[in-house]
Each structure stands twice: as structure tokens, then as C-alpha cells.
A and B are shown apart, each in its own frame.
Chain A
Amino acid sequence: MEFSEHIKTANVEDVVLRQPLHPPSRGTLCITGHHLLFSDREEGSSRQVLLLLRNIDAIEKSVENLLGYSGFFSNAGLSERMSGSSGTITIKCKDLRVLQLDIPGMEQCLNIAHSIETLSCLDCVSEMYPFFYRPADLSLQDQWGLSTPEKHYSQMKELCERWRLSSVNRDYSVCPSYPSAVIVPNSIDDSTLKKVAKFRQGGRFPVLCYYHKKNGMVIMRSSQPLMGANRKRCKEDELLLQAVIDGSDKGYIIDTRSSQQAQQARMTGGGFESKSCYSHWKRLHRQMDRGKALQESLIKLVEACGDESNNMDRWLSKLENSKWLSHVQTALSTAGLLAECVERDGHSVLVHGSEGTDSSLLISTLAQLIMDPCCRTLDGFLALLEREWLQAGHPFQQRCARSAYSHARLQQESPVFLLLLDCVWQLWRQFPLALGFSEALLIRLATEVYASDYGTFLCNSDQERCAMGIKDKTHCLFQALLRPGERDFYSNPLYEPTELAIWPSVHPQSLQLWRGFFLRWTQQARHLEEAQEEIRNMLIEWGKLALS
């Protein structure tokens, strides 16, 4: 394999590893094509640290020539080369862990650093670890994913009266980022859809993503209409939207841009649904930051969280300045508005911003959690993510290539999915009984989305995943999370289903920093994790005995 050409030094002895929550330890460091492996040589303890290179966001190296290198264990027997040069590599991971390796020998240190730098950001999907991960207890023949658009459609009997499953996109030619089957109004045929697709950015024509059983109203999502500077119209697009609200007096369009931004989008060929052409639709603009703004916010937040210099020093101001919590607030309140339109006001809603692959998915997902009890179980939530993020074409590979520590020039990176998980955590905190999954699940997902043994979050769309053979050559994270042992761990022991909508409070006073994730490598987060575990075991124990 070609990985070997990037590995000049595969093994180094006498390396000292420093990592959070553990005392420093000395051992052997080993670099493979996908992993960094550290094995502890201390007597009485054999600890191993296995780190996916993909998890590494940034490294910093410093080498020095030292006479009389004094490592952490100054009285340990020093090998010869330690009295010469040495180096230190600081590894900053996408799961926010920071590790430090003290490596004897300058050359070895540089070799290791070079290997990590190269191997941690290989772009070729088929060379990534999920294609090599073959655990004994999983088979590639196992079912991949939880559901399909077809299954989803057939499970909702209420739909068939007015909605149909279209396979106009079966070869991904109409919209490359959509799945092969989508749900659209009955009265709109495939040739109309093709025309609509040409009028929407990236071909993302309006499709149904949620049907509210209580009143038959729906959430649709799409990308922006390609109205352009000369206010182009598309009769088919207007027809499609009219068919959505057939029999109702109006619908709402939630545009995740400010109206000014929407106006400006016309200059680059985009636009919005004008009042004159879509007279039964009422547009509501809610500006949601995305892309670079979000990524920079994450960087500032993580920097503030990691700043150990003086913890008295204006922490709250730093937290505020990162704006992360205000992004959380905007997302939750826009989702709340969306859910209100559907549940309280009784109207259908179309959601889009510009591309319709980020903020739109964020708020449609949150709104479904708010309204639909089926999405709040462990299985239901994972199925929701599969539908609204994987099948709906959130470009995971572009968005999650780098995280908060990377010095590389940002391209398409943006932590939209992490923002979703944070918002879900806020819901979870405000409604401790209403969600069937645990905080541990959210933390696990936040880690897996950046670096994973599984193929689930690889690629940018269904089409790409098909082309790469992800479903045949990698294992599915969601299936793995639902195995019996894991299922217990990722379930909320306090879960008590409620049919009611869970309306989050979005005041800044009601929102908290997600410490379980952003401060997860601190002693305190560890304590709380242990306490959660204790509570889980307690409840399981009581439950068992009560049944016996």
C-alpha cells in the first residue's frame, strides 16, 4: 500500500505521552496508515492509546538540541540518543482532545510529524479507514442504514392521498445532491419536476420532508429559486408550491437569510419567491449565519474553552464573543417558529436559504424533534439524521474536513452538524424526559462525524456514496449504535414518551454551554459522565427488580 511511503519512522521507543485526565506515561509510539498507536510500558499497567489519524486537526512540533535531556522521568535509565536531541509534538484532535508526545531524536520526531501531517488529511475517500475497518462482530452483509425514502413513504399511509414518491432522480441527474426517490405532490408529474429543478440552485426542487399527522400540514425544503437580476419566473415552480397548499389559504416560506441577503442573491443568479408570483405564500426571513461565520465562531469558542491561563479572566465575555450560543439561539428559535407555523398556526411551510444543504436541514430537523414524538426515540432520531442529513445531501466531507484547531486555510468547512447536535442537547437539557437518547449519543456523533471507523459520514451525497460503494465496503455507524449493548448506553434511562410538542425556551438564560462536549476532557466532565452512568445503572437495576 502507498501509505508506507509516508512513513519513514514507524516505531519509536521511549516516547512520553501527556494527555488530559492521565498522568504522563512512557512507552512505544507506532504510526500506521490510519492510526497513531501508543503502548504504555509502565510496569503493572498496559495502556494503549489508539488514535485515528483522521481525528487529528493540527499538530505543532518543536525540536531542540539538548545536552542532558531531562524527560519527565529524570531518574529512569536514559538511552543514549536522549542525551542528544529531542522533540515535542502537540496533537490537537477534532474531538477537542490535546495530546503531547515527547520524542527522543530530532529526526524521528520530524519523521513522525511529517507522517501525521500527511496521513491525517488524505483526501481520497477510498483510502480512508472505514474501508479497512473489519471488526469480528460485524458483517458487510448486514443491513446498511436504517431506512430508505421508499420505506419511509410506504410507512406513512396518510401521505398517499396527496403525495407521491417520485423516482425522477433515480440516476441523480435531476439533482445530484438528492436521494434517488423523493416525495412530491401527487398532481405534479416528473417532467414538471425536471423543469422546477432547473429553476432551483443545484436542482434542489421543493420536496416533502415532514408530514404533520395532527393536521396534515407539511414541511418542504429546497434551495433558492434562480430568479436572477431580471426576475425570472418559473410557472412549474409556482404550480408545485400551489399544489403543496392545495385546499389551504396560505403557506409560509421561511427563508434562512435576511431579506437584504435574499435581495442581494439575485445579483448572483439566486433570489426568493416574490409576493407577486407566489401570492399565497408569506415569506418570513430569519438570518442564520453559516459557512465561515460558523466555523470562526467554533474556533473562538474552542480557544476560550482551552485557555487555561487564568480562569477568572473574562470567561463569560469570551463565551459571548464567540457567538456560538447566539447561533444556537437563532437555530432553535427559527426552528421554533417553523414548528409554530405548522403545529399552532396550521399551515404548511417551505424552508430554504441559498443552497438548502445547511441551515434548512438544521431547522427542519429541529422542528421535527419539537413536534414529532417519533423522532425523539433513539431509533427515530438516528432515522431522522439519516433522512434529513445523509439522504438530503448535507456535504459532510466538505463541512467536516477540518475542525477548530486547524491552521489550514478554510474552504468549505462549517460546523453545521455540530451546531445541530448542540441544539439537540439544549432540548435534551430542557426536556430531560422527552428524548429517548442520551447525551453520550450526541457526543459520540460529534466525534464520529469528523473521524470514524464507519462509512456513514463519508462523502457529500447519496450519489457519491453509491459511486464509492460505501454501502458494500464499509460498516454503518447507525446500525452499530443500535446493537444491544450500545443501545443501552445511548438510551436515556429517564425517557418517558410524550405526545406533546416540546417548545424550547430560547432566552439566553435558558441556553447553556454544552460542557459535556466542549469541556469534555476535564475532570469535571468526567465526574458528570460517571454520575450519569451511575444513574443509568441504578435505574436499570430498579427496573429489573421491579419486574421480577
Chain B
Amino acid sequence: MASPVSVYNSNALDAHIASTPRESLKMELLADVSLLPGEERIIDKDIIYMCHFNGAVKGKVLITNYRLYFKSSDADVTVMLDVPLGAISRVEKMGGASSRGENSYGLDITCKDMRNLKFALKQEGHSRRDIFDLLFRHAFPLSHGLPLFAYVTQEKYAENGWNIYKPVEEFRRQGLPNNKWRITFINKSYDLCDTYPTVLAVPFKSKEEDLRRVAAFRSKGRIPVLSWIHRENQAVIVRCSQPLVGMSGKRNRDDERYLDLIREANDTTKLTIYDARPSVNAVANKATGGGYEGDEYQNAELIFLDIQNIHVMRESLKKLKDIVYPNVEESHWLSSLESTHWLEHVKLVLSGAIQVADKVSSGNSVVVHCSDGWDRTAQLTSLAMLMLDSHYRTLRGFQGLIEKEWISFGHKFASRIGHGDKNHADQDRSPIFVQFIDCVWQMTKQFPTAFEFNEHLLLTILDHLYSCRFGTFLYNCESARDQHEVRSKTVSLWSLVNSKMDIYLNPFYTPESGRVLYPVASMRHLELWVTYYIRWNPRIRQQQSPVEQRYKELLALRDEYLKKLEQLQLSDSSTSSRLANSPTPNTSSNTSPSQQYTHLHTPF
């Protein structure tokens, strides 16, 4: 060969990774898989993994009730796959018994986490029938009357992650109840709203019967309730679903009065209602009985935030996948990326949240809703709270935020993700939560010292969003979780995380309780989250491990520093002022929200 084999040489093939045939794998090769307690082998088989990057790789596949594991048998090519079955959205047969061509007969697996897997099998003797059937059954247990793995696993952790979020404690942390807001248990048996949690915070002056009348006028009974209150100016973030205005333009005096009570609670002249939808969609919703708050709501202003619906987001991410997997678009990468509109959607969500946060921090209460108030609304309220309240930027605080705004308020995880369900084309599926985590990642990039957790936590959350190993993201709402005894029968993801916290910590975290973070939601400052969306491509992957190792050492150094500082403090109390400014690890869940808010100039 004339020129050196090169990754910088566009003509060169990856010849150096091509595998040579070897004797078939012995079972011992699979011995290094450490199975989870309760995980059981279903089948293993010699197979060829049709790797998009390394070509055909011979090896052995092991399927358990939790995962699909593959290991190459060639000594010179180490290819390993470890895919939770929950991440699989579709399994199809590829080629037929009579298909010609090498490796054209096998399985084609589509995953929810931005990758596809292809396996080839020997054509003789229906060799794929058993593996296909078993994989299909266990990848989609709910479609086959089987339990999700979260109900099978026997994992034990030192900490019980289900205790991370207790609504009453969280309200108390925020300073509630007070003389303007009360806590109600009206929904304790889910009869006011079956997709809401049992504990709600509502205006002090509203009576239980008011709430019931308001519920009748809000889609799915999702009445306006408090999510967050600003300690100093008492401005609140209230969330709900759309009002049932309909074609005839119905009014509901109770709803109008109720919103006015929210405004009154901190004595401002105007309540701002953020409707997350584009205005045309809000108008169109009237046809199906929904709508938006009109002029009859005095003392209120309505602002549309132009965020598209779940279908648009799903298609956008699908387009993104098309340009990054298996092959990354090379020649017109930026304009292709632009045409997926993914970053534009991220931008709109972020800038919507910035508007909410800015309004609240300047002392005005806001109401946020979309149609049902469980997708875009959750994105906006949780991101705004992340900007406003530094507690949510701690490792535990962030877990609480997800538990509160997403899980307890009924983001339909089961429908959006399709846990254990074979219906891969279900129109209810949508990457709304992924998009939220993407927005959080954008914020961590823009404020590298403001978050106690690191990127690894975000990746872990997204991996277990699909894995079905933990109960955290199962089901659509609290009532369904109660019914299926999630808390008693499954393990929480936060048990895993909080039992091994140090790998999720950002060594550079500096708590600043008073700081409101306003990320810049301009396209110029947003980046594609390459380490998530393109992480399966070995050629794009950048050196992570030395950096992680270094960060680990830095965390140890920081702890050492804090220890020494503490000793110094004991011997010399005059240095105590310095401790206040120094980073403290794992700030406990009881830190109060900010005392001083700086009013920054909001750029959007």
C-alpha cells in the first residue's frame, strides 16, 4: 500500500479493524458478565454482530431478562455491547431463509437511545427463530403478560432513593404553607385529578369546592397549583392544563376568580399566563374543547411561547438520528443539523423558561400551561426552577426536581417512552424528557461551576429512562404508580445514584445560593450534545477516561482541602468567613432557597 493507513486519509478503509475468523466462542467468554441479582439467562448463541464501524464481528450473544450482551470472540477486536432490553423499541427479522449474500439473514434491532443493532446468523435450520421469539417477548414484556424487570430485580442499596422527594417537606423548604398559600389533600384519592399528585399547594383563599369547579373547566382536571414560590417577593410559578373554552368560547367565573386569587397573593397588578404552544395551535385546540385564557381574564396577560408539540419533537429527533447514526453527515453537517430543527426547539424551550424565570424574579407570578400541562409545561416550570433556585442544582435537589415536576405531576413516561410495549410506532411516544435533559446539559455547559452534578449523571438518567431496571420512570402518573405499588416493589434510580455519589459530582461546583442563572438561549451559544447523541460512534468519541480520572482526583483533592479548612477553622474561628464562600460537597436537601436574588439583565 502506497500511503499509510490513516484516519485522516479519506480513501482508507478501516482495514485494520476487520476481523479474522476464529474458532467459535466458548461459553467462558461470557463469564465476565456480572448479572444483576434477579437477572437470569434466557438464551445465548453464536452470532455475527454487523457493526456499523468495525464491520462483521463474530462473537456470542447473551440475552437475559434484563439485557442483550454481546462479546466478540476475536482476540484482536474487542467489541462489547451491553444493551438493556428496555432500550429496544423494535425487533425485526432481516432477510429470509433464501436471502443471498453474506450475513444477510438475521435480526435488525432499533433502539430508543439513538442506535441500531444488526446481527447475522447462519441461514440453515431456522437458527434465528428461537432467539427472535425470546428477544421479542422479553424486550416487550408488557405486550406478553410478563413483568417489567424493575419488578424482578433483587438489587439492594444502602440508601432508599424513594425518600428523596417528600412533597410536604419540599413545600416546607420553600416556606409553605404561609398566609397566602395552603396545602390541600383534596386529591388524596385522586378523584379531583387522576394525573396529579395527592399533595397540592393552592391559594389560601380558595375553598375546596372552588377547586372542584375549577377542575371541571381545566383539561383532565389539572387545575392551577403552585410549583414554586420566590422567598422574597412571593411571586409563584403555577402550572395547569388549558382551560376548556371550546368553540363557543365558554367562560368559567370560578376559574377566572381562582386565577385572580393567584395574582392577589403577592399583590401585583398583573398575572402573566405563559401558554407554551404556538398561538395557532392554541386556537386550533378550541375545536376539541380546549383553548386559552381570553380577555375575560382581567388582570392577566397571555403570552404564547411558540413551542411545538410532541409530534414535531419526535420527528425532529428522528431527523437528527438520521444524520448521526450509523453514519455521521460529513459534507454539510451544520446545515443538515439546522434542518433537523432540534437545536431550535431546544432554544425555544430554554428561552421560554428564561422568560418565566425572569418574570418571577422580578416579582410577578406566572401561570404556565400547554394543552394537558404534562409535557411542555413540565419542561418550562422545571427549567425555570433550575434557573431560580440553586437547591435544584445540587445532586439531590435535581433528583427532587425531576420527582416533583415530572414524575409526580404526571409526565406520561409510560406513553412517551413506551416501556415494555411493542408498539414502536405509537404516536404518543416523544422525547420530551430527553429534550429537557438536553436543556439542562446546555445550562451546565454555560455555567460550569453552578451545578453540583456532572454530565455522567445526565447520561445515567437518560440510560435508565429506558432501561426499566428502576421504578423511577415507570407509569404515567402517581395514581398508576400507587396501583402498581412501584415504591414498595421496585428500586428507585436515586438509590443507585446516591449510593455511589462521587462519580456524579462536579469538582468545580461552587454553591451560590442567591444566583439566578440566565443561560443564553441564542443559537450561537447552543451546541449539539455530541457526547450523548453521537456517543455510539467510536470515531467521534473523544478521550473521556483520562478526564474522568482527573476529575475524580480533583474531587478527592477538594475533599482534602475542605477537611483541612475545617481543621483550620476549629483552631482559628476568624477564618469562618472564608468557609461561607468555599464549596461544600453534597449540600443536603434542606438548604433553603436563595436569600438574595440578583436581577441580571436577561438576554433573549
Contact = CB atoms under 8 A, between A and B. Distances in A.
Contact of B8 (A340, A519, A546, A548): A340
A538 B510 contact: yes
B338 interface: yes
A522 B520 CA distance: 10
Interface in A484-517: 494, 496, 498, 503, 505-510, 512-513, 515
Interface stretch (A33-41, A308-316, A354-362): A308-316
Contacts, number: 134
Interface string B520-552: 101111011010001000011111001100100
A431 B564 CA distance: 31
A508 B520 contact: no
Given A507-B539, A538-B508, A317 B550 contact: no
A320 B334 contact: yes
Contact of A542 (B523, B539, B541, B557): B557
Contacts of B514: none
B571 interface: no
B448 interface: yes
Contacts of B561: 541-542, 545-546
A395 interface: no
A314 B525 contact: no
Contacts of A252: 3
Given A507-B328, A534-B508, A542 B558 contact: yes
A317 B448 contact: no
A260 B603 CA distance: 50
A207 interface: no
Interface string A2-16: 000000000000000
A430 B539 CA distance: 13
Contact of A546 (B334, B520, B523, B560): B560
B330 interface: yes
A305 B510 CA distance: 31
A165 to B, nearest CB: 30
Nearest to B334: A320
A432 B109 CA distance: 36
Nearest to A305: B524
Contacts of A151: none
A87 B554 CA distance: 55
Contacts of A409: none
Interface in B442-469: 446-449
Interface in A201-238: none
**From B332, B525, B603, residue with most partner A Cβ within 10 Å:** B525
B328 A340 contact: no
A358 B355 CA distance: 48
Contacts of A510: 530, 540, 542
Contacts of B338: 314-317
B75 interface: no
A507 B330 contact: yes
B542 A505 contact: yes
A509 B333 contact: yes
**From A494, A508, A509, A538, residue with most partner B Cβ within 10 Å:** A509
Given A430-B543, A545-B564, A534 B510 contact: yes
A161 B412 CA distance: 74
B557 to A, nearest CB: 5
B2 interface: yes
Contact of A433 (B333, B344, B541, B546): B546
A345 B343 CA distance: 41
A539 interface: yes
A311 B524 contact: yes
B600 to A, nearest CB: 9
A314 B339 CA distance: 9
B406 to A, nearest CB: 27
Contacts of B347: 312
A524 B332 contact: no
Contacts of B547: 432-433
B449 A535 contact: yes
Contact of B540 (A284, A507, A532, A539): A507
B532 to A, nearest CB: 12
Given A282-B3, A510-B540, A527-B446, 7 more contacts: A312-B347, A337-B8, A341-B4, A345-B4, A496-B546, A506-B8, A535-B508
17 contacts: A311-B524, A317-B334, A317-B338, A336-B7, A340-B6, A433-B546, A433-B547, A505-B540, A505-B542, A507-B330, A508-B330, A509-B324, A524-B525, A527-B447, A535-B449, A545-B560, A545-B565
Q: Closest 10 interchain pairs by CB?
A: A345-B4, A508-B333, A320-B334, A316-B338, A336-B8, A315-B523, A337-B8, A524-B520, A542-B561, A316-B334
